[in-house]
Amino acid sequence: MFKELEEKLRRFEELHKLVADPKIISNPREYKKYAKELSWLQKIISRYKEYKKASDEIASLEKIIEKKHDEEEFLKLAEEELTLLQSKKQALEKELNERLNEKQEDVARNIIMEIRQGTGGIEAALFAQDLFRMYSRYAAKKGWKVEIMSTSLTEKAGFKEIIFSVAGENPYARLKYESGTHRVQRVPLTESSGRIHTSAATVAVLPEAEDVDIQIKTQDLKIDVFRAGGKGGQHVNVTDSAVRITHLPSGLVVSCQDERSQHKNKAKAMRVLKARLLDKTRRDRQKKISEDRKIQIGSGDRSEKIRTYNFPDRRVTDHRIKFTIHKLESVLNGDLDEIIDALSEADRRR
């Protein structure tokens, strides 16, 4: 670990020189690339410096204690300080291990999340809505910005589908484990007999693509405009502002109609298309990743689950790591750190 950290420290110092070079500054694409890498390394290096400082202080205190200083009170204070520093060092070492296991090209990215109604009818649509609220509240706690890209509502309530972006400090590093089928077990409001129903919704987490990742040719796109639908009244568009983009080589189709401006709908649809193309490119390149994602996301059937939210027992269970907590209300209110930390630790150990 320390060999790798020293290499990153040298790279960090090299990047400081690069971003100050007039030749690099004059090239926006190259400058952005180096600045992004520098930003990612900043936290690792700051923690590494804290770690080295704590190690030096521990060594100094151990020498003092070994000399068996005559003042008993002084020795007691030194031993207490040593215990605190050793705890700090262990915590920093754990954090450094985690950060070194993160992929720089993904961890600093913003993300696009897609939540879709799975098995369970209207109850599944309501659960998809609950999941969106859960992630929105988690994002708010982290200081991230959520932007809705596209929604498709059921006739009664809830989401058939909702696509939204999450921007801020490293959302992908925290939310990448959320891809998969989520299952809920509860008594629906419409169930008069009190029988528990099981429903499902799928979640996909896609790193947002940048221009350097995906190059799309204009001739590869088929763009259709149409009148947006709605529930009636003043919110129904009277102009052709909705946009559907088809990427002809891949067959991917993205529609966006939430904005009243055709230009804004097109821009959002392109962002979603690029994220999906980046994801497809990666899956095609790496067969194992493709297989893992297929297992995670599946078809939306409730049997293909990664996590269960059980209302009668107030229980949330992540089946991938056999982790259970009885804090259902807190989790649905956006307190996801305990689950995500457990997933992150299991991933690090693997």
**Model pLDDT, residue 213:** 66
For residue 301, what is the DSSP state? -
Q: Is 125:154 a contact under the CB 8 Å cutoff?
A: yes
| Ordered domains of the chain (ranges, CATH) | 2-101 (1.20.58), 108-212+286-349 (3.30.70.1660), 218-284 (3.30.160.20)
Contacts of 98 (CB under 8 A, 6+ apart): 344, 348
Q: Is 316:310 a contact under the CB 8 Å cutoff?
A: yes
pLDDT (tens digit per residue) in 162-217: 999 999 888 988 898 999 999 999 988 767 677 888 999 999 999 888 765 677 88
What's the average model confidence in pLDDT over 126-141? 96
Largest CA distance in the chain: 88
Give buried/exposed letters for 223-250 (b at 16+ CB in 10 A, else e). eeeeebeeeeeeeebeeebbbbbbbeee
Distance CA 48, CA 92 (A): 8
Q: Is 101:156 a contact under the CB 8 Å cutoff?
A: no
300 or 17, greater pLDDT: 17
Alpha helices in 150-199 (DSSP H): 171-175
Distance CA 139, CA 154 (A): 25
Query: CA 175, 176, 177, 181 torsion: positive or negative?
Result: positive
**Model pLDDT, residue 77:** 85
* Helix (H) or strand (E) run with residue 167 in it: strand 159-167
Alpha helices in 67-111 (DSSP H): 72-101, 104-107
Q: What is the pTM of this model?
A: 0.68
